[in-house]
Structure 1
Amino acid sequence: MNASKDLRTGDPVWLSHPVPRLGTGALKRDRRTDIVIIGAGVTGAMAAEALTDEGFRVIVLDRRPPLKGSTAATTALLQYEIDNPLTELTRQIGHDKACRAWRRSKLALDSLAARVELLGIPCAMKRSASLYLSGNVLDPGGLKREGEMRRAIGLPNDYLTRKGLAERFGIDRAAALLTTQNLTVQPLRMAAGFHRAAMSRGAEILCPVEVAAVETHRDGVTLRTRNGPVIEARYLIYATGYETPTAIRQSRHSIHSTYAIATKPQPDKLWPEQVMIWEASDPYLYMRTTSDGRVICGGEDEAFSNADHRDSLLTGKTKRLEEKLKTMFPQLDTRADFAWCGSFGASLTGLPTIGAVPGMKNVFAILAYGGNGITFSRLAAEILSAALSGHEDPDAELFRF
């Protein structure tokens, strides 16, 4: 139904540790359930946890073992700050909708942190401040206006001048916005924790399973698999990211490639306060630290053409990231201990698309695209669990197809 894609290549730093084991099963006979989720990554994990918490019977399908797709390639800078600045999003969709989207992103991130804590998921979660540096998208004046607009809707931040930025963080940039209450996590452990919570309530992960055809009807959905068995469900949710069928993706969605490196551990050389850093630039550079003192640095994004071309650029992109990181922090050993690349979806507004798929009764999709993918995955879990439980999320219309 959706073509298999080469989601990533290289050596993501998260795979240097044992990948959390999850009990999976094989699809050997016809099955019936309430909800089928296609995709056993972090997005599918959060949806499964939220829906089983509402009492639904859930089966998660994947053509790979769980957590072996795009989730392993994330750099896991979890921010409420949407890729598109509030000032630009206001121009695109209007002031009221833009403000609601930004506030809901903040609420989704806080909700994610609370859920991780309530479930007791051991994923090295840490609250972190973020520095948003001036660049070719927002110069110092634009950055100042951006900060003022955010403060006006209850999203606090401090505007730092070149002098303040240099004195506090040792960074030579014209200006920056400083925000707090963002998150860093170990993404594979977090996703595994959500899966385990769902499985404790009866959810199953079945893999490898290839869905060959989907038939929708008034009372539900029929999934026909390549190896024979059929699954009948009340609802189907696509949580497949870059592998979402083309028929479901919209014209405002595109596919990009991104590159990342992780340095060797060097906790004595890290910058003050170990804040997350990203740029008001296109493409932007972004970086964070890990619990063992590594620096993860990513960026050098470009439009995706094919996996072979993306992968052929890895060596050159790695060198470029090492150079950019060295320019910003000369004290670091910026040589890559790990380097990888992956493909991800993007939208013109920087917002996700979540909800019922037009023309496909009882089928839903989560297109948690952009740099806020994990934050948007939590948002999607909330919106879909409300919708399938017969409730209406007050912000659902902002993100629907």
Structure 2
Amino acid sequence: MPRQVDLRTGRPVWSAYRAPAVPTTALTRDAKADVLIVGMGVSGAMMAEVLTADGHSVICIDRRGPVKGSTAATTALVEFELDQPLSVLIKMIGESKAQQAWRRSRLAISSLAGRIEDLAIDCRLSRTQSLYLAGAMLSASELRDETEARRQAGIAATYLAPQPLAERYGIDRNGAILSHGNIALDPRKLTAGLLLKALERKARLHAPIEATTIEDSADVVVVATKGGPTITARHVVLATGYELVDIVPAAAHRIISTWAIATRPQPRKLWPQAAFIWEASEPYLYARATADGRVICGGEDEDFIDEARRDELIADKSARIAAKLSRLFPRLDVRPEFAWTGSFGTTTTGLPYIGAIPRHPRIHAVMGYGGNGITFSRIASEIVSASIGGFDDTDAGLFAFNR
């Protein structure tokens, strides 16, 4: 079962905002369900909401409790733009697959926004522009090529030369791509809201419960838990975030440490439209505003998972991020009111692994790597719920373990 990782440290900004309590109960006896979901972060919550809407009986377990893993550490720039630029991804996996991955990501954002509105979940949802700034990875001319690659894929994008970028947004860079249709939200409120919807539909939420072993046969999956009771289900969904489960194939991924800060609320000092900001660099700096005008800024990623070392760097990394933010927006008060660190996974292509585990058709895994975790959680909820319902999702092969 999972290697246990301290997924985050420090005080994420979302602790400043109250999320609804999600009631859980102890698991005192053996239980059965159509689907067992391991993990009650944003991926598990989306899965639980969709599967209960489809009429399945669902049990969710989590060794910590709802919304207590890496979900609370996300900065929640919910974008369709993948970490890997489309023009770069085309060279990696071919034009048609790369275009389809980007199109599916864009579709996931609009379907997630629609779902949140249909369910009337209060998670401070707002539709947001985004600016992808020229950086060390893509120069201004390469950003023009990226804009054209997106247009060829049917994805609207506007290239901004330095002068209009400075005039409209007050940003001094060699160029940027302007996109529309991304969303900002509070990830804890969203996750809690989705779990409460699933609970209304008779999902059973048990925590703290730790799964210890998984055994599958042709008809069922039996999961043993620490403390004794077993859960028997027709399907199991592993939504354990970056705590990787032994049964999941060792995909080509690495674990990254990242740091973030949030300022005091200063709505009058925000840049126009409070657009998402991120840059074509590796690692990239990224920034967004909260509904009450705080600025969240993160980056300075490093390729390691030593939690003690990661945590020791919070002060130094916070100062570096604040300095970069100040260079981008000199008018802002960049002093951190919140500072935190977390670990996440990434793959070479930036695409997630989603679907049934090879040779284990009843065990599905959601490994939503990279900077698009919430977007990938939405795609996973669509692909896995289709599979459990006996349908094929046309894009399943793009994200499959055996791709």
TM-score (norm 2): 0.98
After TM superposition, the structure 1 = structure 2 runs for residues 183-222 of structure 1, keeping only pairs within 5 Å, are 183-222=183-222
- Contact 2:249–2:357 (CA<8 Å) still a contact in 1? no
Any gaps of 5 or more consecutive residues in structure 1? none
Q: Which stretch shows the higher mean deviation, 56-65 or 243-252?
A: 243-252
In the aligned structure 1, how far is the partner of 2:361 from the partner of 2:28?
27
In the aligned structure 2, how far is the partner of 1:268 from the partner of 1:18?
24
Partner SS for 1:334: coil
In the aligned structure 2, how far is the partner of 1:46 from the partner of 1:14?
19
The one-letter code of the counterpart of 1:270 is L
Number of matched residues? 401
In the aligned structure 2, how far is the partner of 1:350 from the partner of 1:377?
14
In the aligned structure 2, how far is the partner of 1:359 from the partner of 1:210?
24
Partner SS for 1:233: strand
C-alpha RMSD of the superposition = 0.9
Q: CA deviation at 1:97?
A: 0.4
Q: CA deviation at 1:221?
A: 0.5
Q: CA deviation at 1:197?
A: 1.2
Match of 1:381 in 2: 381
After TM superposition, the structure 1 = structure 2 runs for residues 96-245 of structure 1, keeping only pairs within 5 Å, are 96-245=96-245
In the aligned structure 1, how far is the partner of 2:182 from the partner of 2:206?
33
Q: Which stretch shows the higher mean deviation, 109-118 or 153-162?
A: 153-162
Partner SS for 2:136: coil
In the aligned structure 2, how far is the partner of 1:187 from the partner of 1:3?
24
Partner SS for 2:301: strand
In the aligned structure 2, how far is the partner of 1:76 from the partner of 1:255?
19
In the aligned structure 2, how far is the partner of 1:192 from the partner of 1:305?
28
Match of 1:272 in 2: 272
Match of 1:340 in 2: 340
- Contact 1:157–1:177 (CA<8 Å) still a contact in 2? yes
Residue 58, structure 1, aligned to residue 76, structure 2: no
Q: CA deviation at 1:289?
A: 0.5
In the aligned structure 1, how far is the partner of 2:125 from the partner of 2:196?
17
The one-letter code of the counterpart of 1:109 is I
Q: CA deviation at 1:379?
A: 0.4
Match of 2:85 in 1: 85
Partner SS for 1:218: coil
Q: CA deviation at 1:265?
A: 0.7
Can you list the C-alpha shifts for 1:72-116, whole angstroms capped at 9, x where unaligned? Answer: 000000000000000111011000100010000000111000000
Match of 1:285 in 2: 285
Q: CA deviation at 1:246?
A: 4.4
In the aligned structure 1, how far is the partner of 2:391 from the partner of 2:92?
29
Q: CA deviation at 1:17?
A: 2.4
Please list every run of at least 4 consecutive aligned residues from structure 1 whose deviation after the TM superposition is greater than 4 angstroms.
none
After TM superposition, the structure 1 = structure 2 runs for residues 313-332 of structure 1, keeping only pairs within 5 Å, are 313-332=313-332
In the aligned structure 2, how far is the partner of 1:154 from the partner of 1:291?
30
Any gaps of 5 or more consecutive residues in structure 2? none
Can you list the C-alpha shifts for 1:301-344, whole angstroms capped at 9, x where unaligned? Answer: 11123111111111100000010000011101000000000000
- Contact 1:238–1:244 (CA<8 Å) still a contact in 2? no
Q: CA deviation at 1:249?
A: 4.6
The one-letter code of the counterpart of 1:280 is A
In the aligned structure 1, how far is the partner of 2:17 from the partner of 2:140?
41
Q: CA deviation at 1:18?
A: 2.8
TM-score (norm 1): 0.99
After TM superposition, the structure 1 = structure 2 runs for residues 14-53 of structure 1, keeping only pairs within 5 Å, are 14-53=14-53
The one-letter code of the counterpart of 1:199 is L
Q: CA deviation at 1:361?
A: 3.9
- Contact 1:212–1:223 (CA<8 Å) still a contact in 2? yes
Q: CA deviation at 1:200?
A: 1.1
Can you list the C-alpha shifts for 1:341-377, whole angstroms capped at 9, x where unaligned? Answer: 0000111111111001113341110001110100010
Match of 1:306 in 2: 306
Partner SS for 1:182: strand
In the aligned structure 2, how far is the partner of 1:198 from the partner of 1:146?
40
In the aligned structure 1, how far is the partner of 2:274 from the partner of 2:25?
41
In the aligned structure 2, how far is the partner of 1:301 from the partner of 1:311?
13
Query: Among the aligned pairs, what percent are the same residue?
Result: 51
In the superposition, relative to structure 1, how do residues 361 and 272 fare at CA in structure 2: closer, same or farther (>3 Å)? closer
Can you list the C-alpha shifts for 1:241-261, whole angstroms capped at 9, x where unaligned? Answer: 111224415341111011100
Partner SS for 1:60: strand
In the aligned structure 2, how far is the partner of 1:165 from the partner of 1:361?
50
- Contact 2:223–2:231 (CA<8 Å) still a contact in 1? yes
- Contact 1:217–1:361 (CA<8 Å) still a contact in 2? no
In the superposition, relative to structure 1, how do residues 20 and 304 fare at CA in structure 2: closer, same or farther (>3 Å)? farther
In the aligned structure 2, how far is the partner of 1:250 from the partner of 1:180?
36
Partner SS for 1:66: coil
In the aligned structure 1, how far is the partner of 2:281 from the partner of 2:275?
18
In the aligned structure 2, how far is the partner of 1:386 from the partner of 1:250?
25
Match of 2:363 in 1: 363
Residue 263, structure 1, aligned to residue 259, structure 2: no
Can you list the C-alpha shifts for 1:159-195, whole angstroms capped at 9, x where unaligned? Answer: 0111111111111000000000100001111111111
- Contact 1:86–1:102 (CA<8 Å) still a contact in 2? yes
In the aligned structure 2, how far is the partner of 1:369 from the partner of 1:26?
31
Partner SS for 2:235: strand
In the aligned structure 2, how far is the partner of 1:165 from the partner of 1:246?
48
